[in-house]
């Protein structure tokens, strides 16, 4: 493992698909620190943050999702925060690191590319408060002492990995990456509703080439792992906040809009031990409007 902080134990939180519920995300990592009595050194989100400049730019699935879950519009509140929300988010960022995220298949990729062009950097903040920053595909950076590679998007008939980013990571030496963060998972990790195997063969080949000790993904909206691919252990995270209802389950799946078990993971960088969180307090971060003010106040009092 190519760690630049040998002997220093660091904690990294990972979050599954957020789909716009960014205040739930901030509340979740604040509660994680408070309830576990730890300090997070980094927070990484594995794509489908729901990063769109406005609802007119939504893809059709995102337009359907928000109809079931109003909190998926919180990303737009963060883009143009009220004075009270800005104060609360700034206070939250005094306690937790800004969130790094990789692109999923439900983001405005053209808008994200423009943000990077303006910033002149592979890391670009997407909101004026700097709470969430997108990491461009193919980027390799240090995250809490781990040499971390980011690859967004998915392999599908309608989308593919960025070819330049995929080629750049494929050219990296085996063993040179400690942690690979992607949105999609490797081929064969699960079955969809039709019984078809999910995951990407191209990603499987990349993992087999890079041989990172650890791989973290999302996309399938449920906890899945650990799975092993040679020397690599792979984990997929659940969706952070499941919808109130879906066309398949109109009776409701998450009526209180609480954070789901298995949607947040915690990594110890010294041992590379990864834990899915199933803590009861996850259910306290809930509602169409999260009580972020109260969560921040509790963090300040701790």
pLDDT digits (tens, 9 = 90+) for 224-259: 999 999 999 999 999 999 988 877 776 678 999 999
Tell me what pLDDT residue 85 has: 98
Q: Please report, for the chain, the start and end positions of each structural domain, with discontinuous segments joined by +.
A: 11-301
Nearest to 213 by CA among 178, 241, 264: 178
- Any idea which residue has 């903040």 for tokens? 125
In angstroms, the CA 16 to CA 262 distance is: 8
pLDDT digits (tens, 9 = 90+) for 51-92: 999 999 999 989 988 988 899 999 999 999 999 999 999 999
Q: Which CATH superfamily is domain 11-301 in?
A: Metallo-dependent phosphatases (3.60.21.10)
Phi (first) and psi of residue 119, to 5 degrees: -75, -25
pTM of the model: 0.95
In angstroms, the CA 112 to CA 21 distance is: 18
Distances (CA, A) of 147 to 178, 179, 184: 5, 6, 20
User: Can you list the residues of the chain whose pLDDT is less than 70?
Assistant: 1-7, 250-251
Distances (CA, A) of 256 to 62, 277, 280, 290: 20, 19, 14, 11
């Amino acid at each position: 493992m190519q760690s630049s902080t040998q002997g220093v134990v660091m904690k990294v939180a990972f979050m599954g698909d957020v789909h716009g519920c960014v205040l739930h995300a901030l509340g979740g990592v604040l509660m994680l620190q408070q309830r576990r009595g730890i300090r997070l050194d980094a927070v990484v989100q594995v794509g489908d943050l729901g990063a769109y400049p406005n609802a007119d730019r939504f893809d059709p699935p995102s337009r359907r999702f928000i109809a079931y879950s109003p909190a998926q519009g919180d990303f737009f509140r963060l883009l143009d925060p009220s004075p009270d929300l800005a104060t609360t988010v700034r206070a939250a960022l005094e306690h937790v690191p800004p969130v790094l995220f990789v692109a999923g298949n439900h983001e405005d990729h053209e808008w994200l590319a423009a943000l990077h062009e303006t910033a002149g950097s592979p890391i670009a903040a997407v909101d004026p408060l700097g709470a969430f920053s997108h990491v461009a595909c193919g980027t390799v950076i240090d995250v809490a002492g781990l040499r971390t590679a980011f690859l967004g998007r998915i392999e599908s008939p309608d989308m593919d990995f960025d070819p330049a980013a995929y080629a750049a990571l494929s050219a990296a030496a085996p063993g040179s990456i400690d942690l690979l963060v992607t949105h999609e998972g490797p081929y064969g990790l699960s079955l969809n509703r039709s019984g078809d195997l999910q995951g990407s063969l191209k990603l499987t080949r990349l993992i087999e080439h890079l041989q990172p000790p650890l791989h973290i993904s999302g996309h399938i909206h449920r906890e899945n792992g650990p799975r092993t691919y040679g020397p690599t252990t792979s984990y997929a995270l659940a969706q952070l906040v499941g919808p109130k209802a879906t066309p398949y389950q109109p009776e409701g799946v998450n009526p209180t809009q609480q954070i789901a078990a298995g949607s947040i993971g915690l990594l110890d960088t010294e041992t590379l031990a990864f834990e899915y969180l199933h803590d009861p307090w996850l259910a306290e971060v809930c509602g169409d409007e999260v009580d972020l003010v109260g969560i921040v106040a509790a963090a300040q009092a701790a």
